[in-house]
Structure 1
Amino acid sequence: MAEPGVRVLGRACEVLDCFTEAEPRLGIGDIRSRTGLPATTVARIVSTLLQEGLLVREEDSYRVGLRVLVWSAPARSGSSLLGVARPFVEQLRDVTGESAGLYVRQGATRVLVESASSYHSVIYRGYVGQVLPLDAGAAGKCFMAFDEDALAAAGQAGPERHATAAARTELHRELEEVRERGWAYTEGERELGLNSVAAPVPGFGGLPQAALAIGGPSVRLDRAEADRVGPIVAATARAIAVRMGHVPAEESADV
């Protein structure tokens, strides 16, 4: 069992994780419903976060305090993954013409940590810090296909998507296909008309350290286009792993 201080820190993170770019202001009831924590616990944690400047109260709602910006610069500067991946993400955008992004896993979700927007008029617009479910979209499929812990976490968080035996069978078929070809393609799983292609960025031990993805409208990123760009996404993801030192260069001679 975690020490009391560790439990409090974990719950404070749960509260802060409730805030997103789409919903930057939340009421105390919103926080309770999103975390599932008791009202007294939420009130105590919110009070502490207010005192530390991590939350700010505006009338009856709360927003994340600007103090967190102090940590963003050293976080990016200290991340070797982001330092290495940025030019590859931009190159993938330029080669495919679609918005490209790099995701890392956080429990049953994936977080966009690097992005490059397409130059087309109609595009997929993601933003750094965006939190998305694992069980929808090509990037999530990459984590689930190559990491059993990710698959288990996704199953616990969103069982309704794969509640039937037929749905679970189809999911395992899809994940096996991802493992065989090295990249994933999904059509409208998270949003109607939005398709995506992704590939895992291998870390030490073979588990995905991240997932590299492109997203675009179905009129451009259809199955035929996915077959063309899928190997490109996979090669770029592996090139990031090579640059990180996670994959020997001779294993990616074709990148």
Structure 2
Amino acid sequence: MTTRTPRPKPALDGVAAAGRALAILSAFRKGDRHLSLAVLSDRTGLVKSTIMRLAISLEAQGFLARTPEGAYRLDAELLRLGSIYRDAFGLEAHVLPVLEALVARTGETAGFYVRHGERRLCLFRVDSPHLLRMHVRPGETLPMDDSATAQVLRAFGRRPLPAKARAMALPAWTSGATDPDTASLAMPVFGPGPDLAGALMLSGPISRMDARRAEAAKPLLREAAAGLTRALGGEAPAALSDAAA
């Protein structure tokens, strides 16, 4: 009979340090771009010297980054883990069929974007069969400019919803905001629960997606976003129905 060697228990100091490091990450709330050392200390109850010591390890692992002013912001390793979580949750399995259906029905490019700091990140994309289209690959980022997609991410990513979001006509449509020859439509998608999951968008050259054709595509995008929200267990704000009507 083989005698098992008992696994050594982790040192209490190590457990405590891990708990404090997680407390620092958990101190960030929706809408926080960066936090000062003083705010982190206030939210975690940790002394500043402890936060600074743990932040060195968190920075080395890509969880935190320092701003030029000396504040802290969340870094890319959390995005990587978030992407793994999304895959585990089955986001891709829900989103890609919706994008494929939109492309089949409209002939234009469909994509799904999330906000990444001061940029918007293309998570999923299905290209138009037309050769003339804007070329963006999943994983690429674009600025949070005045495009329909950026407007939706900016407006609906906050709680409570700002007045601008409640008054926004949906789907949002812009022409020439990111690229002078490209127009786009965008709708918010929610889930799980009331949180913004991302922005569902259609884009095409202005020569094909003018105001008349964009108007014809709006009901399709609205229907697709509502179906995706339901599939993700989401709950669109009541104000959204009024704004979209």
Deviation at 1:12, TM superposition (A): 6.5
Instruction: Show the counterpart of 1:143.
Output: 153
The 1:137–1:73 alpha-carbon spacing in structure 2 relative to 1, beyond 3 Å, is closer
**Does residue 245 of structure 2 align to residue 235 of structure 1?**
no
CA shift digits 1:67-98 (9 cap, x unpaired): xxx98995563142222111111111111111
Structure 2: 5+ residue stretches without partners: 1-36, 41-50, 71-76
Q: 2:58 aligns with which of 1, 9, 12?
A: 9
Deviation at 1:108, TM superposition (A): 2.4
CA shift digits 1:180-236 (9 cap, x unpaired): x33110111111111110100023553421100011100001111111111211210
The share of aligned pairs that are identical, in percent, is 26
Question: SS of the residue aligned with 1:121?
Answer: coil
Deviation at 1:102, TM superposition (A): 0.3
The 1:176–1:221 alpha-carbon spacing in structure 2 relative to 1, beyond 3 Å, is farther
Question: SS of the residue aligned with 1:88?
Answer: helix
**Does residue 78 of structure 2 align to residue 78 of structure 1?**
no
**Does residue 173 of structure 2 align to residue 185 of structure 1?**
yes
Instruction: Show the counterpart of 1:101.
Output: 111
Structure 1: 5+ residue stretches without partners: 17-34, 39-53, 55-69, 153-171
Name the structure where helix makes up a greater proportion of residues. Answer: 1
Give the letter for the 2:198 counterpart: A
Higher radius of gyration, 1 or 2: 2
Q: What is the number of residues matched between the two proteins?
A: 180
Query: What TM-score results when the alignment is normalised by the length of structure 2?
Result: 0.61
Instruction: Show the counterpart of 2:98.
Output: 88
The runs of at least 4 consecutive aligned structure 1 residues that moved more than 6 Å come to 70-73, 149-152
Deviation at 1:151, TM superposition (A): 9.9
Q: 1:123 aligns with which of 133, 137, 143?
A: 133
Provide the aligned C-alpha RMSD in A. Answer: 3.6
**For residues 230 and 10 of structure 1, what CA distance do their matches in structure 2 show?**
44
Query: Could you tell me whether the CA contact under 8 Å between 1:113 and 1:128 is conserved in 2?
Result: yes
